[in-house]
Homo-oligomer: A and B are copies of this chain.
Amino acid sequence: MKNICINQELKFVEKLIKNDINAEKTISGLYKYIFKSKGKKIRARLSLISSSTKKHKDRFKLASIIELLHTATLVHDDVVDNSSIRRGKKSVNTEWSNSHGVLIGDYIYSKAFILMVEIGNKDILKELASATNDISQGELIQLDAIKNEEISLNKLKKISYFKTGRLFEAAAKTGAMLSSSNKSYIKGVSEYAKNLGILFQITDDLLDYSDSSDTGKPSYQDLKEGKVTYPFYYAYKNASKEEKSRLKNILVTKKLNKSSTNKLISRLNGIKETEKLAEKYYIQSIRCAKSINKLSVMQEMIELSDMALKRKK
C-alpha cells in the first residue's frame, strides 16, 4: 500500500469523524472547532498502516477512534497546561473556558468508546482501555514532576512512554489485531510504534528548545510550565554547582532570557545528548520496522521514523 493511498484513507477518516453532528449547537460548535484544525494524524496513520494487511470493514472506524482518543487527551492537556494555542489556533480553554475543555474532552472520549464497542473486538477494547489509563497516568506523573530538577532519566522515559508512546503502540497494535492473527506481526508493529512514539516525544521536546517559528509553538513552553524535559535533564546533569542553581532558578521562577538559556543548555550538551537519545530510539524503531515481514508496512514505517527524527514541527 503506497503512501498516497494512506493519505487518501486519512481523508476518509477525517470525514468519518466530522460526520458526527450533535443536535445541541454548543456541542456541535465545539466539536467542529476542534476537528477543523488539521493535526498530523500520525497515530491514525499508524493504525491504518498496521491494519493495511487486510481490508477489514472497521479499519477506518478504528483509525477514527485512535484520532478521537488522541484529540480528547490534547483537549484535556490544554486545560492541564493552561495552553492558549493548539495547532496554530486558540485552544478550547482559551476560546471557550476550562470547563468546556474538560467536558468536550469527556464527550470525545466517550464517542471513541461508543465506536470501540461497535467494533466489538474484546482484545482491541482491552488494549485501548489500558492505553487510555496509562496515558492519564503519564500525565499525572508529569504533573507531579513539575519543577523537580532532580527527576531521573527513567522517570522521564516513563513519562514519554506513557503519555506518548503508549497511544502510538496501541494504535499500531489494535490496527494489527484487526487485520491479522499473526502474533509476530502484532508484536513487531507494537514494538516499532512504541519506539516511534518515544522518538516523537523526544523530538517534540527538542523542538520546544529550538527557536524555529515553523513549529507554530512558543519556544521554551515546557520550561515556562516548569516541566523538565530531556534537554534540561542532560544540561542539569552536566552542570556545575553554580550552573545547577541557575537552571533551577529558571525552572522555578519560569523567568528566562531566551538567548542566555539557549547558550547555557547548548553549552552543557543538553541539545546534543537529547539528539543522541533521539537517534537511539530512531535506530531501535528502524530495527523493529525491518523485522516486519510485510514489505509495504515496513516501508511506511521507515518513512515515519525518518519523518519523526527530522521533523521541524
Contact = CB atoms under 8 A, between A and B. Distances in A.
Contact of A129 (B27, B80, B114): B114
Interface residues of A, number: 41
Interface string A39-59: 000000000000000000000
Given A26-B140, A137-B24, A76 B103 contact: yes
B103 A143 contact: yes
Contacts of A141: 24, 26-27
Given A24-B144, A79-B98, A117 B107 contact: no
A255 interface: no
Contact of A144 (B26, B79, B80): B26
Interface in A86-142: 98-100, 102-107, 109-111, 113-114, 116-117, 120, 122, 125-126, 129-130, 132-133, 135-137, 139-141
Contacts of A98: 79-80, 98
A301 to B, nearest CB: 28
A154 interface: no
Contacts of A109: 106, 109, 132
Contacts of A126: 114, 117
Given A117-B126, A120-B122, A141-B26, A133 B111 contact: yes
A136 B26 contact: no
A143 B79 CA distance: 16
B103 A140 contact: yes
Given A24-B140, A24-B144, A110-B136, 6 more contacts: A80-B102, A102-B102, A102-B105, A103-B136, A106-B109, A117-B126
Nearest to A122: B120
Contacts of A102: 76, 79-80, 102, 105
28 contacts: A24-B141, A24-B144, A26-B140, A26-B141, A27-B140, A27-B141, A79-B79, A79-B99, A79-B102, A80-B98, A80-B103, A81-B99, A99-B143, A100-B140, A100-B143, A102-B102, A102-B105, A103-B139, A104-B140, A106-B109, A107-B133, A107-B137, A110-B135, A111-B133, A113-B129, A114-B126, A114-B130, A125-B125
A230 B98 CA distance: 26
A22 interface: yes
Contact of A106 (B30, B103, B136, B144): B136
B76 A137 contact: no
A47 to B, nearest CB: 19
Contacts of A107: 133, 136-137, 140
Interface string A16-48: 000000101011001000000000000000000
